[in-house]
Structure 1
């Protein structure tokens, strides 16, 4: 099984260890992993802001880089959602390209969904021990139904105790450009999320999208919380959380 790993531009720029963790998990599942060196952005920022031409250009670049793979996997629900849900819309007026894009998008998965639904990873390489709480990122949850998958994988780690927070499915206030356009509202949402995290007394908040992680970690630290760790699900499952 030839799997293309889309690292995502945010992971590449801000926390590449997440990409290496995803790679380790895919290899543990027996996949032949391909990581195109020239990959960049999926085009989601342009698409969300109405710049369809830029989004189309990046989608075509993505197609050329990943079309030969059996599957495409991303450690991000928002990027996977862009590829799976929105790429076909970009080419609805171009039947030939849309056909190719749809073949690609139908085989695009968020990491935990791929590990549970496709390869059915039974043995988790990580050895994490501690109490965690999980934040359900909006795009993965609402576009792809990512909720049970990360919890099922975490349940395979005997050292993990999962404590569910209040409103785990409520937005953390990031939302990409939302946090820039509506800074005051975004801050209030992040504060609410931080209060729910801290109420669990968990040692770590775990999520599946780096954008959410950066937003929550930044707000936690500004509130004076320097002890709660902020980890990506891939880091926990792969056993690379000490590298962050």
Structure 2
């Protein structure tokens, strides 16, 4: 359990993609956090994490977004989100402020409290009482930011191992980028398309019926490619499976999902 009270307060960082395209991911995250004994709140002042501006070199806009986020999540024991990419961006906030800027310490404080959800459940709460089943074979994609910036690799697999009836077939090059990369797919569409084509083949070769991951951007990208290629593999965010919330259409199967080519 955490070093805080028995029921630590958690501010949920919803993320833009969950808010706009996949609200079920946010609801599933809340369900898991509450099952782990957390008191969950969703600050209404939260916006984008600022990653698109940051990756495009717009430091001032990113700093403004960071200040809004820092203020929105002050007072919580932890900040948790269903995205290694977005939480990884929160960890970059200290880079935006000079050593003598009073916002630097506040950014460092936020960084120290910010966790991706599977990492938080496993590493902080030591929670693995997963009450779910999934009658299928999955393959897991390790997203770049979660893996390389936050060290998320075994945590999701440990939690998935607690799901009844679920089988995991690891794909070849599970740690290789899917080609989405936020603005990368817009700047370099040909390279991005080749990368996701390779990924689609690895997913298909795994013989899994479901692709699972922890970042919606990656999942939307790969789900769209799989659908356009006519490959019968559905995509789901890990929290939907862990929370037993798989009644919704798979990613890319509903009108509100962004599963079309750019």
TM-score bucket of the superposed structures, by smaller chain = over 0.9
Tell me if the contact between 1:3 and 1:73 (Cα under 8 Å) persists in the aligned partners: yes
2:245 is matched with which residue?
Answer: 240
Separation (CA, whole Å) in 2 of partners of 1:160 and 1:66: 35
Q: Which TM-score applies when normalising by structure 2?
A: 0.90
Q: Which runs of 5+ in 2 are unaligned?
A: 1-7, 250-262
CA distance in 1, matches of 2:77, 2:99: 26
Greater than 3 Å deviation, 4+ residue runs: none
Asked whether the equivalents of residues 45 and 68 of structure 2 are also in contact (C-alpha less than 8 Å), the reply is no
Q: Give the drift of 1:166.
A: 0.2
Match of 1:32 in 2: 39
| Alpha-carbon offset, residue 201 of structure 1 | 1.2
Mapping 1:1-244, distance limit 5 Å: 1-84=8-91, 86-225=92-231, 227-244=232-249
Q: Is the 8 A contact 1:87 1:105 kept in 2?
A: yes
CA contact (8 A) 2:53 2:61 kept: yes
Work out the number of aligned pairs and report it: 242
Give SS of 2:79's match.
Answer: strand
Shift of 1:5: 0.4
CA contact (8 A) 1:25 1:125 kept: no
Q: Flag structure 1 segments of 5+ consecutive residues without an equivalent.
A: none
Normalising by the residue count of structure 1, what TM-score does the alignment of the two structures yield? 0.97
**Matched residues in 1 for 2:168 and 2:214: separation?**
15
Which protein has the bigger helix share? 1
RMSD: 1.0
Instruction: Measure the CA separation in 2 of the matches of 1:56 and 1:93.
Output: 14
